[in-house]
Amino acid sequence: MRTLGVLLRKELHATFTSPIAYVVSGVFLLVAGYTFSLSLFMSKVANLTYVFHQIYILLILLVPVITMRSFAEERKTDTLELLLTAPIREIWIVLAKFLGALALVVLLLLASTSFVAVLWLFGDPDLAPIGGGYLALLLLACLLAALGTLWSSLTENQVVAAAASLGTFLMLWFADSVAYILPAPIDLLFVNLSLIGHFAPFVSGSLFLSDVGYYLTGTLMALFLTARALADR
């Protein structure tokens, strides 16, 4: 655990001394704030359903930018050699990278809770779907950060890592659409792979263990594959 702490401090330092963190935060807060104001004034309803769907899209677009540098930059500058020849297990390196990326997303989600405060001050929001929505966004962020970290571990080119991550996220988003043209039972597989299919129930206030399991299993699998990719020498 001490090793994880040492590595995580370094990751957080790298994340927050990079302009990427500030550009991503600026874009996120601007677009989310704009969406919140617009939906509130248009609908005059105290809920965040529309905002959660907008943040879902923002995460799909922004997480590749956050994770692209994690391993790709270390490969490019050869500093990965310092980490891989140190007496530490690969899994600690992977977890530190993953948590370093996730920390920024969690901070952004925390900043977006100011929307809840506004609804609370001026209305009477139903807190169940709001709580469900934030849980869904957190689980989604875990899965996207893990997949982005995996892609970053496979290349030394940050643009390639970002493009491959974005492509994967979009494919997972639209996986259930492909199901319409596939025969049973393969269509079920694609329906169950869908990011949005496992996201929407949370936002409407329904919590299914299968949805939680989807995000957690995907996250753990991606982290395991990243550790394997590093261990393969």
Partner 1 sequence: MLPAPLAAPGHRVVEFENVTKRFGAFTAVRDVTLSVGSGEILGLLGPNGSGKTTLIRMLTGMHTPSEGRLRVAGFDTVRQPLEARRCIGYVPESHPLYDHMRVREFLPFMASLRGMDTKAVPAAVGEVVESLALAEVLSAPIRTLSRGYRQRVAIAQALVHRPSVLVLDEPTNGLDPRQIIETRNLVRGLAGRCTVLMSSHILTEIAQIVDRVAILLRGRLLTVRSMEETPDLEELFLSLA
Asked if residue 12 binds partner 1 (CB under 8 A), the reply is no
* Cα(46)–Cα(49) distance, integer angstroms: 9
**Residue 24: CB minimum distance to partner 1, A:** 17
For partner 1, the binding residue among 77, 113, 177, 206 (CB under 8 A) is 77
**Closer residue to partner 1, CB minimum distance, 82 or 127:** 82
Site string for partner 1, 85-114 (x = CB under 8 A): xxxxx-------------------------
For partner 1, the binding residue among 18, 25, 49, 192 (CB under 8 A) is 18
User: Is 128 strand, coil or helix?
Assistant: helix
Asked if residue 23 binds partner 1 (CB under 8 A), the reply is no
List b or e across 164-194, with b for residues whose CB sees 16 or more CB atoms inside 10 angstroms: bbbebbeebbebbebbeeeeeeeeeebbebb
Nearest partner of 59 among 146, 137, 113, 150, judged by Cα: 137
Asked if residue 233 binds partner 1 (CB under 8 A), the reply is yes
Q: What are phi and psi of 232, to 5 degrees?
A: -75, 100
Asked if residue 49 binds partner 1 (CB under 8 A), the reply is no
Other beta carbons within 10 Å of 129: 19
- Which residues make up the interface to partner 1 (CB under 8 A)? 2-3, 6-7, 9-10, 13-14, 17-18, 77-79, 81-89, 233
